[in-house]
Amino acid sequence: MVPVTDTPILHVDMDAFYASVALRERPDLVDQPVVVGGGGGRGVVLAANYVARRYGVRSALPMTRVRRMCPHVVVIEPDYATFTSVSSSVMETFREVTPVVEAMSLDEAFLDVRGSTRRLGPPARIAERLRSTIHDEQGITCSVGVAASVSVAKLASRRAKPDGVIVVPPAEVTSFLHPLDVGELYGVGEKTQALLHRFGLLTVGDVAHTPLRTLQRAVGDHLGRELQHLAWGTDRSELTPRAGPHEPERSMGADETFTRDTDDREVIVRELLRLSARVAGRMRSADVAGRTVTLKVRFADFTTITRSRTLPEATDVTVEIHRAVTRLYDALGLQRARLRLVGVRVEGLVPRATVHRQLVLGESEHGWADADRAVDRATRRFGTAAVRPASLV
DNA sequence: TCTGGGGTCCTAGGACCC
DNA sequence: TCTGGGGTCCTAGGACCC
């Protein structure tokens, strides 16, 4: 007799992941408020431990505010190499339980345990087994939500935090979901929450009992339909196994906030070169090229605009990307506008092997591609700092 | 000296084609 | 000389997620 479960989806979410990993090296700090994030200037919180959360500190808060809220907070710089390696080990633990693992980010994944209950017992027991393995091997805690669908499992893991498990059987889905605020639903952020509240829709139950057409008039066809499913827990229950959060990327980009706002064209164009080189380098290591180049500009008042241009041919060449974004920047015709941030993104990525360049007679562009590849080789041997365009030295 | 950086997806209008 | 309709591409913006 094969045990059949009606709650096969597990959502496993590390508790305060970056902070928990950082604290493994600093056990002396576990009882103090600790955040991981960029400490200097304009950084924000990546993760806060539960002591810091008692002061109201949350992810994405500006560090300047955090220091006001909690003056004795300890700020730790993020160490992504360690985060990535802990994440890989945790994902490996997941795959010992089931091959059907859909990673959402470094610290979060869905598991389908339908095929594992005969060997390992009911989902709740599997959840506890995962939690104790991760705790023993990695020294960090996690929370698990167990349900029939992806979004109910995710909401359950959030409710289980920190360091707990919640199972929501099908018969209890509506009594679990309907009292929640609409803002808890996946896809409902600050704006949509406020919009729904203005329509008098405060809880998930309110959304569930609103006619689809009404909902769609408020939030659009797509989101309306989506919300109706989420409100009844009838969203997807099939997972797409994948190792990383975003496997074949559809776009690659880089942006950077200046330490101080600037209106100096030379500084801006140089920053665009640095960002173009970073993006193009990542594209080349991923063996992709892209046609649409987008410039992002954020002004001192935080308003943000984008300008994009689709090239005739896909490229992964630093100077071509840089030339495109510089033209877009100059076309803005900014005079004295102070910029807070600039960004470069390339979209429409395709495998580089599928790109066949139509070189115009007399064109010498391939020289730049050769130069980029020489830079890549030197970077691999000597490190990023060793090789860069002359104007960045 | 409020507000990072990496992404995804949706909407909407205009161009263009059949 | 009275107005269709669908599909695709491009651009810009916005919302959201981790």
Provide the pLDDT for residue A361. 52
Provide the pLDDT for residue A386. 66
Please name the CATH architecture into which domain A251-392 falls. 2-Layer Sandwich (3.30)
Provide the pLDDT for residue A382. 79
A42-100 tens-digit pLDDT: 999 999 999 999 999 999 999 999 999 999 999 999 999 999 999 999 999 999 999 99
Assess contact for A60 and A45: CB atoms under 8 A.
Answer: yes
CA of A373 to C1' of B17 (A): 40
For residue A263, give the 3-state DSSP assignment.
Answer: coil
- Nearest nucleic acid nucleotide to A158, CA to C1' distance: C18
For residue A218, give the 3-state DSSP assignment.
Answer: helix
Catalytic residues of A, which ones? 108
Amino acid at A240: T
Token look-up 């609103």 returns A210
Protein-proximal positions, strand B, CB < 7 A: 1-12
How far apart, in whole angstroms, are the C-alpha atoms of residue A276 and residue A254?
8
Provide the pLDDT for residue A393. 62
A109-120 tens-digit pLDDT: 999 999 999 999
How far apart, in whole angstroms, are the C-alpha atoms of residue A346 and residue A279?
8
> Phi-psi category of A333—alpha, beta or left, where left has phi over 0 and alpha has psi -120 to 50?
left
In chain A, positions 265-294 with C-beta closer than 7 Å to nucleic chain C are 291-292
CA of A271 to C1' of B14 (A): 33
Please report, for chain A, how many H helices and E strands are present, in that order. Answer: 15, 13
Q: Where in chain A is the domain with CATH 1.10.150.20?
A: 173-232
Q: Where in chain A is the domain with CATH 3.30.1490.100?
A: 251-392
Provide the pLDDT for residue A2. 62
Provide the pLDDT for residue A369. 83
Protein-proximal positions, strand C, CB < 7 A: 9-18
How far apart, in whole angstroms, are the C-alpha atoms of residue A33 and residue A248?
38
Question: What one-character DSSP code corresponds to residue A256?
Answer: E
Assess contact for A385 and A378: CB atoms under 8 A.
Answer: no
Provide the pLDDT for residue A368. 84
Provide the pLDDT for residue A318. 97
- Nearest nucleic acid nucleotide to A225, CA to C1' distance: B10
Global pTM reads 0.92
> Which residue positions in chain A have pLDDT lower than 50?
none
The CATH number that domain A173-232 falls under is: 1.10.150.20
CA of A142 to C1' of B13 (A): 46
CA of A221 to C1' of C6 (A): 19
Provide the pLDDT for residue A362. 52
Choose among A173, A148, A155: nearest CA to A238. Answer: A148
Provide the pLDDT for residue A364. 59
